[in-house]
A and B are shown apart, each in its own frame.
Chain A
Amino acid sequence: AQTVTQSQPEMSVQEAETVTLSCTYDTSESDYYLFWYKQPPSRQMILVIRQEAYKQQNATENRFSVNFQKAAKSFSLKISDSQLGDAAMYFCAYREAQGGSEKLVFGKGTKLTVNP
């Protein structure tokens, strides 16, 4: 079964600085998708960024970017120019590609604190 591991229960960063959140996963599949979701205190799950495994180029969304290392099964999230509104729980998630299981498998999350 696929598993997703987030080894950092908590992280903190100074406003305007850069922080990297770690995620590793275990799968025997070659084609899949990876996601980062943000859960602020409102508990709403918000999609931050997604990556297709067959794409070598790392995904980028404004201040958010990923470092996808397929051979190492690593998928870290970098947040640049951190803002107070970035404070939240961040969840890494895995999904098989079409034809496989449609479910998302989540890590346990990393709580990010942004210090002013």
Chain B
Amino acid sequence: NAGVMQNPRHLVRRRGQEARLRCSPMKGHSHVYWYRQLPEEGLKFMVYLQKENIIDESGMPKERFSAEFPKEGPSILRIQQVVRGDSAAYFCASSPPGVTAGPQETQYFGPGTRLLVL
């Protein structure tokens, strides 16, 4: 069973460009989470999605950031008009369905995308 896949692993953008980060969850996992890690910091939650639904976006900046998890294909984290402060590692995690309506508690992480804004 392949793990969580993220691409690209490294992304360089100039200020004002758009960044699109992709995440394919583990097979059978229907819950996807995005986290951001600034240098020398822990991971900070951004957004939690299920297929075609945003469940919790309380950690997403109000502007320029958006996320989706379509019925078909990977989850996408999109950052418009990037600024230098967006430089960070962005991690995706996934978890399988739980016994009840929600996900299981353990989240499995992908290798991350390192975004560098010049």
User: A and B bound?
Assistant: yes
Q: Could you say which residues of chain A place their CB within 8 Å of the CB of B48? A: 102-103
**What is the interface of chain B, defined by CB distance below 8 A to chain A?**
31, 33, 35, 41-45, 48, 55-56, 58-59, 89, 91, 93, 98, 100, 102-103, 105-109, 111-112, 114
**What is the interface of chain A, defined by CB distance below 8 A to chain B?**
4, 33, 35, 37, 42-47, 50, 52, 91, 95, 97-99, 101-109
Which of chain A's residues has its CB closest to B55's CB? A102
* 5 A-B interface contacts by CB (under 8 A): A42-B111, A98-B98, A104-B35, A106-B44, A109-B42
Q: How distant is the Cα of A114 from the Cα of B44 in the complex, in angstroms?
A: 27
Main secondary structure of the interface of B (DSSP, over half): strand
Q: How distant is the Cα of A107 from the Cα of B43 in the complex, in angstroms?
A: 8
Q: How distant is the Cα of A44 from the Cα of B5 in the complex, in angstroms?
A: 11
Q: How distant is the Cα of A91 from the Cα of B105 in the complex, in angstroms?
A: 17
Q: Could you say which residues of chain B place their CB within 8 Å of the CB of A42? A: 111
Q: Could you say which residues of chain A place their CB within 8 Å of the CB of B108? A: 47
- Interface residue from A50, A98, A103 paired with B33 (Cβ < 8 Å): A103
Known contacts A33-B105, A45-B43; can you find 12 more A-B pairs with CB under 8 A?
A44-B109, A44-B111, A45-B112, A91-B42, A102-B33, A102-B56, A102-B103, A103-B45, A103-B56, A104-B35, A104-B45, A106-B35
